[in-house]
Amino acid sequence: MKKMTGMADYIKESSERTQKEQKEFKLFGDISVFIKDPLPEDIDVRNVLAKLESLIPRYFASGLDMIIVGANSEFEEREINAMYRDGAIYVTNFQMTEADLLDDIVHELAHVVEENNGEFLYSDELIFKEFIGKRKRLLDILAQEGYSVDEQNFMNAEYNREFDDFLYQEVGYPTLTALTMGLFASPYGATSLREYFANGFEEYFLGDRNYLKKISPFLYSKLDKAEDL
């Protein structure tokens, strides 16, 4: 009996070890997921991919060829955890939890959706106007708090490194979070129209949809309609 138990334990441990050493997976059956550098032992990428498949409609991943998990010098240079480029999502393997890895992938998947559905999302300019309205409100809030806002273009919806540095370094995201509660789903959503959409996408699929509907009704409406396409 002891020998049988020992053999069962060995087979189980061997199976678990093989699974942990696995480097290639599939998302939705046809999107390659490659673990270039190892994740922490308590993070199982299979759990993350299964959760992703249960949350995100398959067609939202159209145009995505691959997800690569691993170290990337650009992450450190740009102080980011992930990026989407040329049909691939690159995400750092330095993750605290499975939820963090899921969050990073969903955020970049939002940029895939945006790239494939730009006309649907932005042609009526409703999301753009919503975003600029929030930027104007942010300008008023920061001016009232004594921040020097004269040199910053709050009406530019495109990403601007100088503006991002102003929010990140001069104001600071913890302070920005407190000042913009109920305005943006997260402080990073204030940096550009694209990040506003991506943060809203995260909130829609990973957070509180009712909260998103309350603070960003036009963005919520677009995502709600996109799910039915």
pLDDT in tens, 36-70: 999 999 999 999 999 999 999 999 999 999 999 99
Report the chain's mean pLDDT, rounded to a whole number. Answer: 91
Q: How far apart are CA 92 and CA 112, in angstroms?
A: 18
Predicted local distance difference test score (pLDDT) of residue 78? 84
Average pLDDT for 73-88: 92
pLDDT at residue 4 is higher than 90: no
Burial of 120 per CB tally in 10 Å (0-12, 13-18, 19+): middle
Q: If you count them, how many residues does the chain have?
A: 229
Please tell me whether residues 111 and 129 are part of one structural domain. Answer: no
6 pLDDT band, cuts 50/70/90, is low
Please tell me whether residues 164 and 88 are part of one structural domain. Answer: no
- The tokens for 115 are 């790239």
Residue 44: half-sphere exposure toward Cβ, Cα within 13 Å? 9
Q: Contacts from 178-186 at CB under 8 Å and sequence distance 24+?
A: 179/141, 179/142, 179/145, 180/138, 180/141, 182/214, 182/215, 183/134, 183/137, 183/138, 183/141, 183/215, 184/134, 184/215, 185/211, 185/212, 185/215, 185/216
- Higher model confidence: residue 10 or residue 84? 84
The total of structural domains in the chain comes to 2
Final residue of a structural domain among 116, 137, 167: 116
Final residue of a structural domain among 116, 137, 165: 116
Average pLDDT for 124-146: 97
12 pLDDT band, cuts 50/70/90, is very low
Full domain range(s) for residue 172: 120-226
Please tell me whether residues 154 and 214 are part of one structural domain. Answer: yes
Final residue of a structural domain among 99, 116, 133: 116
Instruction: Give yes or no for a contact between 68 and 108, defined as CB atoms under 8 angstroms apart.
Output: no
CA nearest 82: which of 115, 109, 60, 62? 109
Instruction: Give yes or no for a contact between 184 and 197, defined as CB atoms under 8 angstroms apart.
Output: no
Please tell me whether residues 95 and 187 are part of one structural domain. Answer: no
Please tell me whether residues 28 and 48 are part of one structural domain. Answer: yes
